[in-house]
Every structure is written in C-alpha cells, then in structure tokens.
Chains A and B, each alone.
Chain A
C-alpha cells in the first residue's frame, strides 16, 4: 500500500476544479497551474525513486483487496511514463503561457489542460481494465474540449469527426470489456492474466484480444490513424504538442500493458497481428510524411511513423525489445513535444505553414534552427542523442527474432524521417525569406524556455543512456515477466 500513487491523479484534478472558479483571474490561473505541474513532477520523481528501491508499488482503493477493488499499480514502466508525462505536460503549460492567447485562457483552457493530465496519469497508473476505460474517457472529454476551444469552422468540423471516432471506439471498448468479464469473471489486469493463463487463450479470449487491439489502435493511431492527421491539425500548437506527446502514447501504453501482461498465450495470432499493423503503419506514415507540403501534416505523419516503430518493438516482445519500447517511448514523448514547439515557432515566425513560402529563418532565429537540426538527428536515432538506444535495442532484437523484414522497414522508416525533416530544415531555414511582411512572434523567449528544457532532456537522455537504462531495464524486466507484476498486485 502506498498512498502516494493517487497523487498524480488528484493534483491535476483538484487544480482543474479550483481553476474553474478563477475564470477571470488569468494571472492567478497561471500561477496555480505552474505550482501544480511542478508538484506533479516532484511526486512522479518520488514514485520512480520508490519503485527503483522498493519494487512495484500498489494502492488498493478503499482498502478492497484485489481482485475485488480498483487497484493502482506503479511498476517502473508506468512510473517512468508518469514522470516524463509530467515533465512534458509542464513544458506544454509554459509554452501555452506564451502562445495560447488570453481568449482561450479565459474560457477554461487551463482546467481542461489539467483534466487531460488527470486522465493520462490515471491511465498509466491504473491496474483495472474498466478503470482504464474511465481514465480514457476523462482524457478524451478534455481533449474534445481542447480541440474545439476557439470554435472556428475547421475546428468544429475536425472535432465532430474526432468525437464520433472516439465515441464509437469507446463503445467498442465497453462491449469488449463485457465479453471479457463474461469469459473470465474479472477485470483486474493481474487477475485477468492469471485467469487467461489458467483457462487457455481460446476462441472468445482471442476475439476479445483482437477487439481490444482495435480499440487501443484507434487511440494510438496504429494503422487506424485515418482521423489523426486532420484532427491534430485543428487546435493551436501548444495543444497539438500535448496531444502528439501524450495521447497516442497512452494508446501505446495500453497495447503494451495488455499484450505483455494478459494476452500472452497466443503470440502467433495477436503479436503477429501487431507486427503486420506496425509494418503497415510505418509504410503509410512514411508515404504521408513525404506527400505533404505543410508543416502540420508532415509532423503528424511523423507521429504515425514512430507509433508504428514502437508497435514493432511490442510485437517482437523479447526483454531487449521491450526495454527498447520503454526507452523509445520516453524519448518520443519528449522529442515530439519539442518538434511541435519548434514547429509552432517556425509557423508564427514566418506567418504560414506552407513549406514553399518559408525560407531564411536561420538568420533571424539561429537557435531554433540548430535545435531543429539536432532534434532531427535525435528522431532519426543518431548515437549521442536520445533516440539511439531505444532504436538499437528494438532493431537488434528484431533481427535476432527473425522479424527481418519488419526490422528493415523500421530502419527504412528512419531514413524517411531523416529525409522529411531535413527537407523541412532546408526549406525553412536556408535560402532567403520569401514573404514580404514580417510577423514576429510575440513571446519568443518565453517560447524558447520550455523548448530549451526539453532539448536538454533529449541530449541528457542520450549522453546518460547508461544511467537511464538502469531504470528502463527494470521496467522491461516486469514487462517480460508478468509473474513479477501479478505477485506484486495479488500479494495478500
């Protein structure tokens, strides 16, 4: 029992409720938000420390012993994601201060922001499948509001699609849970793992597994990403960064959790399905990243490529590749947020999001330019930076486990990422400026600060990969051996 585990959920939830009452006091809202996100980082840091010294931490809500009550579980994987999520969330918050505008701030931007964080952290920490659904809904409702806030025609249209897709997938989620409960009589993840292993993964359970995979794939943008590029283009940059960094990763987290803990008896069916989907996602994402000429779309398709890449690691499912998944997931959350920050600066500096109309920004904004260049290298996986270690581990075990074709696709997708982002770099920063009127971003320094912090993390995670790997391999060990997780939850 460790009561600390509920704090990452409670802090943003309470903050959000308080902020609702401070509608007109924007300065106060900002102050409370800032304090809240720093508290969250601290709590998440303490949880990571406790898990690393004392093993998996659990919290039985209301004192109901599992499998009867709702249980919160922090293994290293969840704890690390909460920590990185808290840091990225804080960065997005400070970027919002500089870029979101007072209109939105007055209309409950910060409460929605904190509700989104509530849902994200809840999804990471919960050990109960139905509770996962509830946390998903919390973050989804907050994300509906964040996408539509502002109410332009484009936003309304994209939100309609986004809401519809998610309402359908949520219905499917609940229906799947109904079948799962009928088949196994439990919804606690650790208990499910035991029951599925006892009963064998027969017909019904396989159907449930595939249905869950579909549900989570819609959330993660794994193959079923048709909604993602449009929806993620609608809101302002700070929101896009938050979505790109956190929302798809929650889906990936759910896939990783369920397919390393519960549905592990029939990897020939489920994991090869994930492998096919991962390959197709990387290829289609690559086509998209090459096809478009506006910044938003290119970045969105880059999100999709990395989703495919991480899913490839999940499908290989050795300890080495799962270490890689954890490492790369952490890297990708930070790097994608940074990518959108820099993209936001570029767009507001040049006043357009079409590549063809940009150019020569390196003279006015050298720091943004070089940060973008280094970030590109990090996303591709060039050694001293954060993307390298995760990619090496996944691709190495891909070749080791006879997933040669998939590993080759993964490597090729890295080159596509390199090509598409270097193309952006060339067009945006080289040459002369092509537009007459100069639009200077209002708060360049305030935008730079959170970006610089994330940039430092990208470099530190790469240079200090050995230290990070100590934590990551602890996470990978639990993913590779479900018994550790089960024993920690079901202990009397």
Chain B
C-alpha cells in the first residue's frame, strides 16, 4: 500500500512542478495545489499506513494509528487552504490589472 501511495505522491509532485514551470498564472496556481496535495499525502504515509485502528490509545488497545500525522495534516490543509484562497485572489487581481494571465505579460514596465 505504501508503495502505491508513494508512487501517487511522486506523480503529484512531478505534475505539480511541470505546471509551476509553465507561463500561465492559472496553471502555476494549480501546480502549487498539486504539490501541497502531494505533501499532505506524504505526511499521511510517513508513519505507515494501517487499516482498522482508530488513533485512540485506550488502556487495552492492541492496535492504534499514530494520531500526530493526522493532526499535522489538518493544520497543513487549513494553512494551504488559506494561502490558496489568497493566491487565487491575487492572480485574479493581476489578471484584471494587466489583462493577461501570462506571467511574461506582467513584466513590461521594468526599468
């Protein structure tokens, strides 16, 4: 199972990097999104994937999942949600003020 998820993470990262390297703002934005998804999956995978055990440690628990990665992912998802929202608004404002979503197009008036 870990291997499959690891491959998925790899795919997410490479597609994300490919998109970030393109010129269109929207693609860059989606690229960063995919990269953060990859990171979150990585966080989930890092303590080993288990099935059938809640992250609760009772007195007689025989199996339990590590709760920490889940807490970390939750935090990380909330943060990336906020940043993505900001990024989208920023990209939209740039599009409105330059009339293009090509990053080269924003460069024109540099001295």
Contact = CB atoms under 8 A, between A and B. Distances in A.
A109 B47 CA distance: 42
Given A130-B75, A151-B93, A156 B106 contact: yes
Contacts of B94: 156-157, 160
A154 B36 CA distance: 27
Interface of A: 130, 134, 137, 141, 144-145, 148, 151, 153-154, 156-157, 159-160, 163-164, 167-168, 170-171, 174-175, 177-179, 181-182, 187
B69 A160 contact: no
28 contacts: A141-B86, A148-B90, A151-B97, A153-B98, A156-B94, A156-B97, A156-B106, A157-B107, A160-B94, A160-B103, A164-B20, A167-B36, A170-B83, A171-B32, A171-B35, A171-B38, A174-B43, A174-B72, A174-B76, A175-B38, A178-B39, A178-B42, A178-B45, A178-B46, A179-B46, A181-B46, A181-B69, A187-B68
Nearest to B41: A178
Nearest to A156: B94
Contacts of B46: 178-179, 181-182
Contacts of B38: 171, 175
Interface residues of B, number: 34
Contact of B43 (A151, A157, A159, A178): A178
Contacts of A163: 83, 86-87, 90
Contact of A156 (B40, B47, B93): B93
Contacts of A160: 25, 90-91, 94, 103, 106
B68 A137 contact: no
* A-B pairs, 9 with minimum CB distance: A182-B46, A178-B46, A157-B106, A156-B94, A178-B42, A174-B39, A178-B43, A167-B32, A137-B79
B106 A153 contact: yes
B52 interface: no
B82 interface: yes
B109 interface: yes
Contacts of B69: 178, 181
A148 B98 CA distance: 15
